[in-house]
Amino acid sequence: MVESLRTAMSAPDLRRRILFTIFLLVVYRAVANIPVPGVNLTAWLAFTSQAGGSNQVVGFLDLLSGGAVRRFSVMAMGVYPYITASIIIQLLTPIVPQLQEMSEEGESGRNRINKLTYYITVPLALLQAIGQIRLIGFSLGGGGADGLASIMPNFGLTAATILPTSMTLMAMLGGTMFALWLGELITEDGIGQGISLIIFSGIVSGILPGLASLFALPDQSARIFSFVSFLIITVATIFVIVIVQEGQRRIPVQYGRRVRGRKVYQGQSSYIPLKVNTAGMIPIIFASSILIFPPLLAGLFITGNGGFMDSIATTVASFSQNQDPSNFGFYAYWGIFFILVVGFTYFYTDVMVRQQNIPQTLQRQGGFIPGIRPGKRTERYVMSVVRRITFAGAIFLGTVAVLPGIMQFFGFVLGIPGLERSALVVSGSGMIIVVGVVIDTMRQLEAQLTMRQYEGFF
C-alpha cells in the first residue's frame, strides 16, 4: 500500500486527484463545524457533555453523522438521507415494474434511477431534519417540548417561529446536499467513491476524541487496560472484517457454444461470486433504529403518577439505558440486538440477491450451473447457497454489533470500569465502513497505476 501511494504521488495526474480528494474532505470537515442557525449551542454542548455518550438517541444520531450531531452542525444529517433513499429504491425495484424495467436498461436506466434517488432525497432530508430535531427534544427531557425549547427556542410552526424554523430546516437540507455534491466531485475528479469517503471522514474524525475519553478515565489501571483492549479489538476486528468482507463462494458456471453472425464462440467456464457479507453494515443500523424508538415513544407516556401503565412505560423507556451487567435487562437488550442484526442480515441479503435475478441473467447469456437445471431449480440452488454462507456473515455482524456489551461484561467481571469504551472509539459498523472504503480506494488507486503502466508500455 505504501509503495502504491509513493508511486501515485510521483504521477502528476494521480497526485492532483489525491490532493483534490484530501482538499474536499478537509472542506467537508470544516463545514461540519458550522452550527445550525437558531440553536442555543451553549445549552446543547452542556447537555452532550453531561450525557457523556450515555444517551442512546444522541449516540445513534451522532454515529450516523460522523460526530456532527454533538456539535449540532449543518452537516448533522450527513449523507444518510441519500443512503435512505437508495435503500428505499433498492427495496422497491423488485416490486415496482417501472423501476425493474429501468434497472434492466443498462447505463441509461441506472442514470434515471440515480436521478430519481436524488429527487427522493430532498423531501426525505426535510422529514429527517424535523424528526432528528424532535428526537433530540424528546431525549432532553421526556416530553420533547420543554427540552427542545431550551436549545431551539424559535423552532415551531407558529406565526412567530415559522421563518426561523424554515431557515433551520433549509440549512440542514443544504448541508446534506452540499455533502452529496462534494461526494460527486470526489467520484468524478478524485480517487475513490465520494459518498463512502464522506462517511469515512466523519467516522475517522471521531477516533482522537474517542481515544481522549479512554485517557480521561479516573483509574490508572482502567486507562491502561482500556487502551490495550482498544488496540487488540481494532487489530482483531480489522483482520476478521477483511476476511469476511472479501470472502466469497464461487459457484461454477458453464457457457455453451454461441453463434453470433458469422462468428462462433466456444463454450467457456466462469463463476458467480457470492459474498459472505452482502448486507454490509445496513442490518446494524436497522436493528439500532428498532431498539431505540420503542423506549423513545414510551418516554412520552410517562406521567409520574405511579400507576400500572406508568410503570410499564418507565420500564420500556429505561430498557435501552440499562447498562448494569448484574441486571437481566442488560442481557435481554444485547441478546435482542444480536437477534435483530442476524434477522435483518438474512432479510436484506435475500432482497439484494433476488434483485440481481441471477437465474434469468444466466439463461439469457446461455450459461448454466453444471448439474442444475436452468430456471426455478437454479434459483433455489443459488438461494440455498446464499442462505448457508450468510449464516457466517450474520453471526459476524451480530458479534460486531454487541461488542460494547461483551466488553462491558468483561469489565464487570474483571472489575475494570469503563472497559466498554475501548469498543466505542470506533463502533463495529463504523469499522466495517472504514475498512471497506480503504480497500475499495486502494483498489481504484492500483487500477489507475496499472492503466498508466500499460499506457507507458504501449
Mean pLDDT, to the nearest integer, of 373-395?
Answer: 88
Question: Quick check: is 456 in a domain?
Answer: no
Task: Indicate if the alpha-carbon torsion angle 235, 240, 241, 242 is positive or negative.
Answer: positive
- Final residue of a domain: which of 184, 206, 228? 206
- Residue 277 · residue 121 · CB < 8 Å: no
The CATH number of residue 123's host domain is 1.10.3370.10
Residue 36 CA to its chain's centroid (Å): 23
**Rounded CA gap, 317 and 456, in Å?**
65
pLDDT at 23 over 90: yes
Last residue of a domain, one of 152, 175, 206: 206
> Is there a contact between 286 and 398 (Cβ–Cβ < 8 Å)?
no
- Residues 366-376 have pLDDT tens digits of 788 888 888 88
- Considering 106-115, 258-267, 335-344, 369-378, the range whose residues carry the highest mean pLDDT is 335-344
* 122 and 256 both lie in a single domain: no
Confidence band of 257 (pLDDT split at 50, 70, 90): low
196 has a pLDDT exceeding 80 = yes
Residue pointed to by grid coordinates 434469468: 360
Helices 220-246 and 207-215: angle between axes, nearest 10 degrees: 150
Taking each helix axis from N to C end, the angle separating 220-246 and 428-457, rounded to the nearest 10 degrees, works out to 50
Check residue 24 and give its pLDDT: 92
Res 457 pLDDT > 60: no
Is residue 20 scored above 50 in pLDDT?
A: yes
Q: Do 370 and 395 sit in the same domain of this protein? A: yes
| Res. 45 pLDDT band, cuts 50 70 90 | confident
Structure-block grid coordinates of residue 300: 412520552
| Span 399-453, pLDDT tens digits | 888 888 888 888 888 877 777 777 777 777 778 888 888 888 888 888 877 776 6
Distance, first Cα to last Cα, the chain: 25
Question: Region 116-142: what's the mean pLDDT?
Answer: 81
pLDDT category of residue 266 using cuts at 50, 70 and 90: low
The residue with greater pLDDT, 304 or 163, is 163
Phi then psi for residue 432, to 5 deg, are -60, -45
Displacement of CA 21 from its chain's centroid (Å): 21
User: Residues 345-353: what's their mean pLDDT?
Assistant: 87
**Considering the chain, what percentage of its residues have pLDDT values greater than 90?**
9
Beta bridge partners of 253: 270
Across 178-182, 217-221, 235-239, 293-297, least confident range: 293-297
pLDDT (tens digit, 9 = 90+) per residue, 225-255? 888 888 888 888 888 888 888 888 888 888 7
Same domain, 178 and 220: no
Q: What is the predicted pLDDT for the residue at 145? A: 42
| Residue 211: HSE in the Cβ half-sphere, 13 Å Cα cutoff | 9
Higher-scoring residue by pLDDT: 130, 296: 130
Write down which residue in 158, 190, 206 finishes a domain: 206
- Length of the chain, please? 458
pLDDT the model gives residue 350: 87
Residues 227 and 165 in one domain: no
Q: 260: domain range?
A: 212-425
Residues 272 and 347 in one domain: yes
C-alpha cell at 79: 449523507
CB distance 245 to 389 below 8 Å: no
Is the pLDDT at 385 greater than 60? The verdict is yes
pLDDT above 80: residue 58: no
**Is the Cα torsion angle 378, 384, 386, 389 positive or negative in sign?**
negative
Give residues with Cβ within 8 angstroms of 44, minimum separation 6. Answer: 72, 151
Share of the chain above pLDDT 70, in %: 84
Question: Do residue 395 and residue 249 come from a single domain?
Answer: yes
115: Cβ contacts below 8 Å, ≥ 6 apart: none
Give the containing element (helix H, strand E) for 233: helix 220-246
Nearest to 123 by CA among 72, 88, 92: 88
Q: In this model, does residue 320 exceed pLDDT 50? A: yes
Is 440 inside a domain boundary? Answer: no
pLDDT at 454 over 60: no
Reduced to 3 states, what is the DSSP secondary structure of residue 260? strand
Question: Above 70 in pLDDT, residue 312?
Answer: yes
In a domain, 438, yes or no: no
Same domain, 241 and 216: yes
Q: 410 and 419 in contact (C-beta within 8 Å)?
A: yes
Between 225 and 61, name the one with better pLDDT: 225
Query: Which residue stretches of 247-327 are H helix?
Result: 282-298, 308-317
C-alpha cell at 349: 441479503
Q: Is residue 285 part of a domain?
A: yes
Number of folded domains that form the chain:
2
Q: Are residues 193 and 221 in the same domain?
A: no
**Predicted local distance difference test score (pLDDT) of residue 258:** 64
Q: Do 217 and 70 have their domain in common?
A: no
pLDDT at 42 over 90: no
Res 189 pLDDT > 70: yes
Is the pLDDT reported for residue 197 higher than 70? yes
Higher pLDDT, 394 or 11: 394
Of the candidate ranges 48-62, 179-193, 321-335, 343-357, the one whose mean pLDDT is the lowest: 48-62
| DSSP code string of 369-410 | -TTS-TTHHHHHHHHHHHHHHHHHHHHHHHHHHTHHHHHHHH
Q: Are residues 365 and 238 in the same domain?
A: yes
Give start and end residues of each alpha helix (H) in 11-106: 12-31, 41-51, 56-65, 80-92, 97-103
404 found inside a domain: yes
Mean pLDDT of the chain: 80
Q: C-alpha cell of 135? A: 428526537
Q: Any idea which of 40-54, 60-74, 124-138, 267-281 has the lowest mean pLDDT?
A: 40-54
Q: 408 Cβ partners below 8 Å, 6+ apart?
A: 323, 325, 330, 419, 420
- Own/partner long-range contacts of 302-306 (Cβ < 8 Å, ≥24 apart): 302/142
On whether residue 234 sits in a domain, the answer given is yes
Indicate if the alpha-carbon torsion angle 338, 343, 348, 354 is positive or negative. Answer: positive
Does residue 441 fall inside a structural domain?
Answer: no
**What DSSP element (H or E) covers 252?**
strand 248-255
Q: Looking up cell 466469497, which residue turns up? A: 248
Query: What average pLDDT score do residues 147-173 get?
Result: 84
Residue 135: exposed, middle, or buried by beta-carbon count in 10 A (0-12, 13-18, 19+)? buried
Quick one: 346 and 381 in the same domain?
yes
Residue 386, pLDDT > 60, answer yes
Helix (H) or strand (E) holding 251: strand 248-255
Average confidence (pLDDT) over 103-120: 85
Q: Are residues 10 and 145 in the same domain?
A: yes
Give a yes or no: residue 266 inside a domain.
Answer: yes
